[in-house]
Amino acid sequence: AGPSAMVPRAAASKPPCKPAVFVPVDRSPEIQEARLKLPILAEEQVIMEAISENPIVILCGETGSGKTTQVPQFLYEAGYASSSGMVGITEPRRVAAVSMSQRVAKEMNLSNRVVSYQIRYEGNVTDETQIKFMTDGVLLKEVQKDFLLSKYKVIIIDEAHERSMYTDILIGLLSRIVPLREKKGQPLKLIVMSATLRVEDFTDNSRLFSVTPPVIQVDARQFPVTVHFNKKTPLDDYSGECFRKVCKIHRMLPPGGILVFLTGQAEVHSLCRRLRKAFPFQKNNTTGGDDDREESVEEMRKFKKSRRRRKVMTLPKIDLDNYSVVPVDEGDEDRDAESDDDVAGSDIDLDLGDGDSEEDEKSDSSLPLYVLPLYSLLAPEKQAKVFRAPPPDTRLCVVATNVAETSLTIPGIKYVVDCGKVKKRFYDKITGVSSFRVTWISQASADQRAGRAGRTEPGHCYRLYSSAVFMDFEKFSAPEITKRPVEDLILQMKALNIEKVINFPFPTPPPTEALAAAEELLIALGALKEPPRTGRLKQQLAAKLSCPISPLGRIMATFPVAPRYAKMLALSRQHDCLPYTITIVSAMTVRELFEEFDRPAVSEEETARLKGKRARLLQMQKIWAGQGPMQKLGDLMVMLGAVGACEYAGCTRKFCEENGLRYKAMLEIRRLRGQLTTAVNSVCTGANLYVDPKMKPPTEAQATYLRQIVLAGLGDHVARRVQAEELLDDKWKNAYKTALLEDPVFIHPSSILFRELPEFVVYQEIVETTKLYMKGVSAVEPEWIPALLPPYCHFGKPLENPPPSYCPETGRIRCHRPSVFHRVSWELPAVEV
């Protein structure tokens, strides 16, 4: 049974309400034909009636049913879109915003001036734009400038099931904006689109919508997918397991594309290389020696050996006519245990032997495999390849990360290989320490992945884990907002004058301790007005959770970067530091400027090449780090130098490739610098800043100011080297201590300051791999800390020597006071206060 508010299909039998307007669209016959195959076309009338009768509608439909590409077209045809009242669609992923706007423009035969997109760094929106795709972050910024979103007639929140933080907040805000627009007599329609039916957080939430919105379910024209579980779950080598599975599918099973889900870019590439070598697409693709072929021979040998060991067993074979999900009840597990031994990944019988089975005839091991990678950092033109038909007489095999789960639908997939894992960024709620971890996906994700196999015909999904493991997966993954630090979000909300954030209608509220940590940080940065320290502790705490924004906070909120970085920008008009801070902040925001060469190489030749490239990058980093006092700016100076050098060379792909820079990152930094320059000019009257892309290096004095500016923004990211007398044991050798963590932290080996070990440093972030490592490190002087970070220091009594003196300019008594750093009580030099 679906949600109570589900619109019955019988609604269609009501006399159709004629749309007042019909705007014709001139589609090509091929497009029209493809559209008619999409399940959502059959529901157009139901959807449009629900939208016309309700201010808010929730639309659920399987991925690929046509929600993203078709609903904007329905609205356009029904006259909802004009250049003064646009249809806006938000996507959690940039890839989707860009690719969907292009697809819709093409389907409607309209130019990108009319169907446009806007993402953080770029866009093609014009005065003529009527349908606008954007990331959810972009719309949130727009709410700040114009709370009622008066430019829009309809807002579609797409991919709501992903529960990205901005999407959640937008739904909360729109639950208030829609009634306000109604009152004003300029109604705004809200459509929330989701791939799964789990929408209770939106519908059964009295804080959110006063009237429960109708839920329309688009019947998926999904073909049955047979799900095959592994008998046993491999512990580590799921990538190798994927390789073996793809080989078996390709050798054994009838034509049809293969989609493999892996967790990261490096894995995707390494599997692509292995597969290309095992099933060469072109003769000259096999350059680089036979090692990989040997690998697959080795693979075969191992497999045969494993079969020999259990040759008396008859392995269960996939039943090509059984198009149902294998039930995962206990009984099934028992039967598996009975009929098979514990060799992982052997549910396709490779060595059919007798030659009397159907699969044997169909198997064709000579067919080349057309292997394509797909992940979000991949260049767009390479991403687009997956939508095109593979070359004749080849089998398509896409090796993808999670992007292929719901955002993009790849045509022609019949087999899905699901490793069951996803790489996710995890944050410590309080310290904000982040690490990428590979974890099990949710059951909902596993089902989404399986669904990709049944788009055009019945398909098969091979799960590289057992049904018992699947039963232990969470049903749905937790909303992002409950999992990460929220200071950026809280600052944005305060700028919208939402002071009692705790009362905001979040679809799922973030934990109170995360809210408290965010407010504390924003108070320390000066973005919020500090609450009075009087009254009971409980009152103090409540006051702390509802601090109003300060004038500095308002300035900070206009910059599209994290609050710590926004603070740096706000301080940088001094000493002409702005162009440098803008560059440093852009580089820190974009992240991962440098290529990583520590990926596994497949041949000795490649190992040598990677080694050469790494050496070249290290050499360049030394040059970019500057000389003398500039070197103390550390990794941030390297970032400045790298961006400057790259721009000097015209920011070409060639320069980036030769010097170990990531071309895409460099382009993003360039755009963000432009955008931040505009933002600075709009808040600092008279700044009239013009950023010369090829800025000259900072002076020594400027480099010192920059270190102070960075310290002022990263006050809670100060670390101090453990002193000789504090050395507890060997694990503290070369370690640093921070105010937030008990454990030792270290300067990351890739840092330019790795061997310098300054006494005090600030870091951009801590990542956890084998140890806790600081990245983006700069050296700071101890006397700056009490002077620049008073909220983090406790000050003692004024010193007798030098004696307090009267300052005629300020009319205040000047005195020196000793101080200690909060929580860790580091003694700091006495400063004048």
- Rule CB under 5 A: which residues touch Mg ion? 68
CB of 91 to Mg ion, least distance (A): 8
CB of 202 to ligand ADP, least distance (A): 18
DSSP-assigned letter for residue 216: E
Asked if residue 221 binds ligand ADP (CB under 6 A), the reply is: no
Beta bridge partners of 440: 421
Q: Which of 167, 233, 409, 677 binds ligand ADP (CB under 6 A)?
A: 409
- 675: partner contacted, choices ligand ADP, Mg ion, none (Cβ within 5-8 A by kind): none
- 399: partner contacted, choices Mg ion, ligand ADP, none (Cβ within 5-8 A by kind): none
Which lies closer to ligand ADP via its Cβ, residue 455 or residue 567?
455
271 touches 600 (CB < 8 A): no
- Residues 613-642 within binding reach of ligand ADP (CB under 6 A): none
Q: In this structure, what token pair is assigned to residue 776?
A: 């983006």
* Part of the chain binding ligand ADP (CB under 6 A), chosen from 1-9, 61-69, 115-123, 575-583: 61-69
Show contacts of 641-650: CB within 8 Å, 24+ apart: 641/697, 642/587, 642/593, 642/594, 643/583, 643/586, 643/587, 643/593, 643/669, 644/583, 644/694, 644/695, 644/696, 644/697, 645/620, 647/693, 647/694, 647/695, 648/694
Cα 820 from chain centroid?
Answer: 38
DSSP string of 651-691?
S-HHHHHHHTB-HHHHHHHHHHHHHHHHHHHHHSTT-----
CB of 383 to Mg ion, least distance (A): 16
Q: How many helices (H) and strands (E) does the chain have?
A: 27, 25
Which lies closer to Mg ion via its Cβ, residue 68 or residue 572?
68
CB of 98 to ligand ADP, least distance (A): 10
CB of 133 to Mg ion, least distance (A): 11
Instruction: Find the residue with minimal CB distance to Mg ion.
Output: 68
Query: Pairing state of beta strands 413-418 and 257-261?
Result: parallel
- 411: partner contacted, choices ligand ADP, Mg ion, none (Cβ within 5-8 A by kind): ligand ADP
**How much is the CA Rg of the chain, to the nearest whole Å?**
29
Asked if residue 412 binds ligand ADP (CB under 6 A), the reply is: no
Asked if residue 65 binds ligand ADP (CB under 6 A), the reply is: yes
CB of 412 to ligand ADP, least distance (A): 9
Q: Which of 55, 85, 288, 411 binds ligand ADP (CB under 6 A)?
A: 411
- 65: partner contacted, choices ligand ADP, Mg ion, none (Cβ within 5-8 A by kind): ligand ADP
Asked if residue 382 binds ligand ADP (CB under 6 A), the reply is: no
Show contacts of 353-360: CB within 8 Å, 24+ apart: 357/317, 358/320, 359/252, 359/253, 359/317, 359/320
Beta bridge partners of 227: 325, 461
CB of 95 to ligand ADP, least distance (A): 11
Which lies closer to ligand ADP via its Cβ, residue 117 or residue 243?
117
- C-alpha 569/C-alpha 561 separation (Å) is 10
CB of 781 to ligand ADP, least distance (A): 54
- 64: partner contacted, choices Mg ion, ligand ADP, none (Cβ within 5-8 A by kind): ligand ADP
- 402: partner contacted, choices ligand ADP, Mg ion, none (Cβ within 5-8 A by kind): none
Q: Which bin fits 66, alpha (ψ -120 to 50), beta or left (φ > 0)?
A: left
* Part of the chain binding ligand ADP (CB under 6 A), chosen from 59-67, 495-503, 593-601, 666-674: 59-67
CB of 406 to ligand ADP, least distance (A): 7
Q: Binding mask 86-125 vs ligand ADP (x if CB under 6 A, - otherwise)?
A: -------------x---x----------------------
- 61: partner contacted, choices Mg ion, ligand ADP, none (Cβ within 5-8 A by kind): ligand ADP
Which lies closer to ligand ADP via its Cβ, residue 22 or residue 387?
387
Q: Binding mask 133-172 vs ligand ADP (x if CB under 6 A, - otherwise)?
A: ----------------------------------------
221 touches 39 (CB < 8 A): yes
Asked if residue 72 binds ligand ADP (CB under 6 A), the reply is: no
Which lies closer to Mg ion via its Cβ, residue 157 or residue 422?
157
DSSP-assigned letter for residue 134: E
Q: Which of 51, 57, 66, 635 binds ligand ADP (CB under 6 A)?
A: 66
* Part of the chain binding ligand ADP (CB under 6 A), chosen from 7-15, 57-65, 133-141, 568-576: 57-65
DSSP-assigned letter for residue 637: H
- C-alpha 778/C-alpha 181 separation (Å) is 49
In the chain, the N- to C-terminal Cα span, in Å, equals: 68
Asked if residue 385 binds ligand ADP (CB under 6 A), the reply is: no
Asked if residue 63 binds ligand ADP (CB under 6 A), the reply is: yes
Which lies closer to ligand ADP via its Cβ, residue 161 or residue 483?
161
Which lies closer to ligand ADP via its Cβ, residue 60 or residue 556?
60
Alpha-carbon torsion angle 813, 816, 820, 822, nearest 10: 20
* Part of the chain binding ligand ADP (CB under 6 A), chosen from 56-64, 476-484, 706-714, 801-809: 56-64
Q: Which of 22, 387, 436, 648 binds ligand ADP (CB under 6 A)?
A: 387
Nearest one of 333, 105, 68, 75 to 193, comparing CA atoms: 68
- C-alpha 98/C-alpha 102 separation (Å) is 6
CB of 408 to ligand ADP, least distance (A): 7
Residues 6+ away with beta carbon under 8 Å from 448: 63, 195, 196, 405, 406
683 touches 671 (CB < 8 A): no
Q: Which of 46, 49, 59, 64 binds ligand ADP (CB under 6 A)?
A: 64
State the alpha helices, DSSP H only, in 340-442.
Answer: 358-362, 380-384
Alpha-carbon torsion angle 252, 255, 257, 261, nearest 10: -20
Asked if residue 67 binds ligand ADP (CB under 6 A), the reply is: yes
Which lies closer to ligand ADP via its Cβ, residue 66 or residue 214?
66
Helix (H, G, I), strand (E, B) or coil at 155: strand
Measured CA to CA in angstroms, residue 198 lies from 59, 132, 168, 595, 816 at distances of: 11, 27, 14, 40, 61
Q: Which of 60, 68, 225, 484 binds ligand ADP (CB under 6 A)?
A: 68
- 69: partner contacted, choices ligand ADP, Mg ion, none (Cβ within 5-8 A by kind): ligand ADP
Q: In this structure, what token pair is assigned to residue 227?
A: 């799900």
**Residue 582 is inside which H or E element, if any?**
helix 578-590
Count the alpha carbons within 13 Å of 827 in the hemisphere toward its beta carbon. Answer: 3
Measured CA to CA in angstroms, residue 561 lies from 137, 277, 289, 526, 578 at distances of: 11, 43, 47, 16, 15
CB of 663 to ligand ADP, least distance (A): 23
Count the alpha carbons within 13 Å of 356 in the hemisphere toward its beta carbon. Answer: 1
- Residues 10-39 within binding reach of ligand ADP (CB under 6 A): 38
For 804, phi and psi rounded to 5 degrees?
A: -60, 145
561 touches 676 (CB < 8 A): yes
CB of 195 to ligand ADP, least distance (A): 7
713 touches 562 (CB < 8 A): no
CB of 32 to ligand ADP, least distance (A): 13
- C-alpha 595/C-alpha 514 separation (Å) is 33
- 432: partner contacted, choices ligand ADP, Mg ion, none (Cβ within 5-8 A by kind): none
Angle formed by the axes of helices 487-495 and 563-571, nearest 10°: 60
- 151: partner contacted, choices Mg ion, ligand ADP, none (Cβ within 5-8 A by kind): none
Which lies closer to ligand ADP via its Cβ, residue 409 or residue 477?
409
Which lies closer to ligand ADP via its Cβ, residue 64 or residue 264?
64
Residues that bind ligand ADP (CB under 6 A): 38, 61, 63-70, 99, 103, 387, 409, 411
